[in-house]
């Protein structure tokens, strides 16, 4: 195929049907879609990310430090601690909130961060707030450590009280996503931000996390997975770079135990990643890819959005509006409810990416 059309590229991947129930019957209406979404979430829980962690019974947030003269006195900066009461006990983690002072009811992004640095090389706080966007940040490591520790630390320690992990028990991506929803719980209690336009964002493994958070929590109007790749926004079947075998070998604790059974058997998966993106419909998702990030595979990421578009079309929305070819550097497809951009360079959460996501959010504000 010299210049294959996107439809042909998708057909060649032989994907499971998004708009077909598991019993083979068609998904033909918005009402059907609600049911199908539930079915998809249960497949993804069972096969990939593990069961959703229940909402807490209680939530207490303490402000430890507040400064409304940050960043040249343009920004309100707060450092907080969130304590969630679960049936197994209570769990606390720190988070941070930055809000532009000169904007009434700003849109807000929940950012799942790799580090506690504020700002961070992935997180240009001043530029974000100068764009009129508020940002709530937590370090994923404060929720559960990103390493093989037999689920003995952080939130995992509380959830796995009997020390035994069953095949569909949640992996750590699901735990980080749970924490993003707790920050959302808190944001809903603030009266100085726009509750209808809250997004969730992360890079790479935390881009996967952002997708899971938005798929399971409909309060997120926007999702921005940056360079999320394998087990994120990229179609896995016939993907370049990372696939189920390496990811479940190196990072088994990100997923439920069941996922590894598809190592080198991707054609047997009763899902592909367009299910995860599609589960966010009719809400907005815009992903970023980098041309040198062949481990994530920009073309397969693009096809993830193209394939998920079917759910949006069923609902009378534009999914990904794109050129009928594989993406090129500089492409930004922001017309529909699904977005995608491809930049030059390698795996990184760059300022270029941030500006694309913020443009998308402003364009589609509800
Ligand atoms: C890699 C992993 C990718 C991606 C990346 C990251 O080692 O294979 O799936 O998540 O880490 O999070 O930076």
Indicate if ligand 1 lies below 6 Å from the C-beta of 210.
Answer: no
> What tens digit of pLDDT does each residue of 113-123 get?
999 999 999 99
Q: What pLDDT shows up at residue 162? A: 74
The structure's pTM equals 0.98
Is 139 contained in some domain? yes
pLDDT at 164: 85
Mutate to test the pocket of ligand 1, among 146, 202, 205, 244 (most ligand atoms within 8 A of CB): 205
In a domain, residue 183? The reply is yes
Q: Is 202 a pocket residue for ligand 1 (Cβ < 6 Å)?
A: no
CA distance 271 to 273: 7
Is the bond leading into 282 cis (omega within 30 degrees of zero)? yes
What range defines the domain where residue 151 resides?
6-61+103-363
C-alpha closest to that of 213 among 305, 112, 310, 327 = 112
Tokens of residue 301, six digits: 């990421």
**Residue 1 confidence class, pLDDT cut points 50, 70, 90:** very low
Average pLDDT, the chain: 97
Alpha helices in the chain (DSSP H): 6-13, 30-44, 70-73, 125-130, 154-159, 172-187, 205-216, 244-250, 273-278, 298-314, 351-363
Query: For residue 6, what pLDDT is reported?
Result: 97
How much distance in Å is there from the Cα of 143 to the middle of ligand 1?
18
Q: Residue 30 domain-assigned? A: yes
29 in any annotated domain: yes
Ligand 1 atom closest to the CA of 231, numbered from 1: 9
C-alpha span between 62 and 81 (Å, rounded)? 5
pLDDT digits (tens, 9 = 90+) for 315-348: 999 999 999 999 999 999 999 999 999 999 999 9
Given the CA of residue 232, which atom of ligand 1 is nearest to it?
Answer: 9
- Distance between CA 116 and CA 306 in Å, rounded? 35
Q: Which two tokens stand for residue 350?
A: 């760059």
What percent of the residues of the chain are helix, what percent strand, and what percent coil, each to the nearest 5? 35, 20, 45
Distance of CA 240 from the midpoint of ligand 1 (Å): 14
Which CATH number goes with the domain that contains 333? 3.40.50.1820
Residue 230 Cβ < 6 Å to ligand 1: yes
Number of domains in the chain: 1
Instruction: Give domain status of residue 154, yes or no.
Output: yes
Residue 72 is assigned to a structural domain of this protein: no
- Residues in contact with 272: Cβ distance below 8 Å, sequence separation at least 6, in sequence order: 13, 15, 16, 235, 236, 237, 266, 307
- With H, G, I as helix, E, B as strand and everything else as coil, classify residue 88: coil
Tell me, yes or no, whether 90 lies in a domain.
no
* Residue 339 near ligand 1, beta carbon < 6 Å: no
The CB of 361 under 6 Å from ligand 1? The reply is no
**Rounded distance between C-alpha atoms, residue 228 and residue 297, angstroms:** 9
The pLDDT value recorded for residue 161 is 79
Asked whether the predicted pLDDT for residue 52 surpasses 70, the reply is: yes
Cα(228) to centroid(ligand 1), Å: 8
Q: Is the predicted pLDDT of residue 70 greater than 50, yes or no?
A: yes
Q: Encode pLDDT of 266-316 as tens digits.
A: 999 999 999 999 999 999 999 999 999 999 999 999 999 999 999 999 999
Residue 209 has pLDDT above 70, yes or no: yes
């Amino acid at each position: 195929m010299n210049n294959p059309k996107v439809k042909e590229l998708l057909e060649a991947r032989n994907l499971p049907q998004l708009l077909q129930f598991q019993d083979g019957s068609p998904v033909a209406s918005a009402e059907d879609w609600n049911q199908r979404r539930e079915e998809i979430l249960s497949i993804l829980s069972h096969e990939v990310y593990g069961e959703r962690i229940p909402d807490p019974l209680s939530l207490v947030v303490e402000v430890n430090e507040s400064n409304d003269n940050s960043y040249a006195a343009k920004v309100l900066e707060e450092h907080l601690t969130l304590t969630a009461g679960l049936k197994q006990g209570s769990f606390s983690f720190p988070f941070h909130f930055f809000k532009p002072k000169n904007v009434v009811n700003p849109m807000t992004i929940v950012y799942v961060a790799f580090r506690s640095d504020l700002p961070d090389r992935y997180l240009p706080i001043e530029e974000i707030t100068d764009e009129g966007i508020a940002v709530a940040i937590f370090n994923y490591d404060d929720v559960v450590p990103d390493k093989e520790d037999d689920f003995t630390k952080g939130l995992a320690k509380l959830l796995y009280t009997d020390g035994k992990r069953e095949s569909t028990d949640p992996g750590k991506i699901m735990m980080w996503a749970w924490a993003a929803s707790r920050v959302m719980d808190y944001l809903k209690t603030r009266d100085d931000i726009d509750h209808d336009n809250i997004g969730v964002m992360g890079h790479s493994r935390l881009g996967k996390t952002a997708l899971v958070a938005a798929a399971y929590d409909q309060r997120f109007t926007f999702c921005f997975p940056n360079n999320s790749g394998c087990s994120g926004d990229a179609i896995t079947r016939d993907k370049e770079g990372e696939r189920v075998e390496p990811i479940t070998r190196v990072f088994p604790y990100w997923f439920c135990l069941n996922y590894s059974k598809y190592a080198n058997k991707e054609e047997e998966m009763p899902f592909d990643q367009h299910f995860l993106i599609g589960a966010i419909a009719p809400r907005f998702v815009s992903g970023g890819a980098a041309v040198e990030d062949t481990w994530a595979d920009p073309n397969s990421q693009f096809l993830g959005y193209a394939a998920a578009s079917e759910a949006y079309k069923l609902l009378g929305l534009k999914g990904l509006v794109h050129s009928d070819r594989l993406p090129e550097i500089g492409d930004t497809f922001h017309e529909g409810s699904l977005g995608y951009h491809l930049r030059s360079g390698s795996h990184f959460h760059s300022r270029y990416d941030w500006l694309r996501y913020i443009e998308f959010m402003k364009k589609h504000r509800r």
